[in-house]
Amino acid sequence: MESSQRRLNTLSRHLESAPTYASEVRPGHTECPVTHHDYKNVYPRLLDNRPVRVLVTGAAGNIAYAIAFAVARGELFGPQVRVALHLLDIAPMADALKGVTMELDDCAFPLLAEVVATTDVKTAFTNVDVALLVGAFPRQKGMERKDLLKKNCAIFEEQGKALDQYASRDVKVVVVGNPANTNAAIAMANAPSIPKKNFSALTRLDHNRAQSQVAKRLGVPVQNVQNVVIWGNHSSTQYPDVNLAYVEDFPAKGIKTPVRPALNDEKWVQGEFISTVQQRGAAVIQARKLSSAASAANAVLNHMQDWLQGTPSGKIVSMAVASDGSYGIPADVMYSFPVTCASGDWKIVQGLKLDEFSRKKLDATLQELQEEKTEAFSFLKK
């Protein structure tokens, strides 16, 4: 009895002197540029220590498998904000979803406050602050494009309504599931109570691919290349554009050079560069026999981090957002633009001069988007 009391005393002394990591950066984690206080402005519920709720749909799939763990690790909100993960997939994937939840448990992530793994749309969407809409109906052998569009319309109509009814009023949405732009337009149209500026579709993977292709061509570190732009649809009609891009420390340290003269190869810029970026997804599938997953998850995190935390001064990124009429793109078309972000909002970069080549490319991808949108909206329940 006496010895067990002694052991308890020793243990409590040990606990008192043990380091605590509750309010500081944990070893091995880099400090997030955003403080907990900043997020308390964006998400007041953090004031009473409630977690930020992040929905990932298609949660038993490949991309979500990479996203969920990164979010739980703190890669979206930094190392001081607790998150609750809402994971949605369809009923046939319930067992796989259970497996993902088990693995999340087994990671013992200190920031992961809760996992809501479900096949019920209402449960999944209730009170979510961020919605990463990854799940979509995949194209199956022999399936007509029209039928694929119809299937996905039904999914994003239902999910738009669920956002409207159950999500947090300031939910921020990014659609990844293809056709991403049109799916986002459908979700937005079905969620009239959520501001249009809270909807987006992912073109950041295309943006990152373009940045990487330019860096490789110039033989410079990828972070030295900035401000490439993806215009239009996340499809093979997208227009990867280097007119705004520059390269740092080129041709010598301290010199910043526009990418176009740095490359000095118009044929590549207007030909192989564009087609390589447009076809990169297909090239990955051909090589890997699976579609891009880790790079897509990384792009989702980049997209949301920039949107939530703001883009550094002078940095431009690509996001598909509802057009406000900029560059002659009709209002509400979900179109990828050059944007900057601050205080949780994106802004389309204005005043860019478009040459004839660019104008044609912008119009071609617009035409595809408008046709897709018209067809998709004809499937919506009246």
Residues in contact with 344: Cβ distance below 8 Å, sequence separation at least 6, in sequence order: 42, 172, 307, 308, 310
The residue whose two tokens read 């569009």 is 149
Half-sphere exposure of 59 (CA within 13 A, CB side): 34
Mask: binding to ligand NAX, 347-376, rule CB under 6 A, as x and -? ------------------------------
Closer CB to ligand NAX, 198 or 233, in the complex:
233
State yes or no: residue 163 binds ligand NAX (CB under 6 A).
Answer: no
> Which 275-314 positions form the footprint of ligand NAX (CB under 6 A)?
281, 291-293, 296
Q: Would you say 168 and 127 are in contact if contact means Cβ atoms under 8 Å apart? A: yes
**What is the smallest separation between the CB atom of 6 and ligand NAX, expressed in angstroms?**
55
Start-to-end Cα distance in the chain: 76
State yes or no: residue 180 binds ligand NAX (CB under 6 A).
Answer: yes
State yes or no: residue 178 binds ligand NAX (CB under 6 A).
Answer: yes
Backbone CA torsion sign across 37, 123, 194, 199: positive
**What is the smallest separation between the CB atom of 16 and ligand NAX, expressed in angstroms?**
47
37 is known as an active-site residue: no
Active-site option among 86, 207, 234, 303: 234
Reported in sequence order, the residue ranges of 232-303 that DSSP labels E, i.e. its strands, are: 239-241, 246-247, 257-258
Q: Would you say 100 and 56 are in contact if contact means Cβ atoms under 8 Å apart? A: no
Task: List the one residue from 74, 78, 79, 135 that touches ligand NAX (CB under 6 A).
Answer: 135
**H/E element holding 360?**
helix 356-379
Closer CB to ligand NAX, 74 or 177, in the complex:
177
Closer CB to ligand NAX, 213 or 292, in the complex:
292
Task: List the one residue from 163, 176, 304, 319 that touches ligand NAX (CB under 6 A).
Answer: 176
Cβ of 4: how many Cβ atoms within 10 Å? 8
State yes or no: residue 134 binds ligand NAX (CB under 6 A).
Answer: yes
Residue whose C-beta lies closest to ligand NAX: 61
Query: Per-residue DSSP letters for 114-179?
Result: EEEEES-HHHHHTT-SEEEE---PPP-TT--HHHHHHHHHHHHHHHHHHHHHHS-TT-EEEE-SSS
Mask: binding to ligand NAX, 88-127, rule CB under 6 A, as x and -? xxx--x----------------------------------
State yes or no: residue 321 binds ligand NAX (CB under 6 A).
Answer: no
State yes or no: residue 258 binds ligand NAX (CB under 6 A).
Answer: no
**Side chain identity at residue 305, one-letter code:** Q
Closer CB to ligand NAX, 50 or 161, in the complex:
161
State yes or no: residue 230 binds ligand NAX (CB under 6 A).
Answer: no
Go through the chain and tell me how many residues it has.
382
**What is the smallest separation between the CB atom of 229 and ligand NAX, expressed in angstroms?**
15
Mask: binding to ligand NAX, 53-92, rule CB under 6 A, as x and -? ----xx-xxxxx-----------------------xxx--
State yes or no: residue 322 binds ligand NAX (CB under 6 A).
Answer: no
Residues 87-97: b if buried by 16+ CB within 10 A, e if exposed:
bbbeeebeeeb
Give the closest residue to 223 by CA, choosing from 338, 339, 337, 302. 302
**Side chain identity at residue 90, one-letter code:** I
Binding residues (CB under 6 A) for ligand NAX: these are: 57-58, 60-64, 88-90, 93, 134-138, 155, 176-178, 180, 202, 205, 234, 281, 291-293, 296
* Residues labelled catalytic: 234
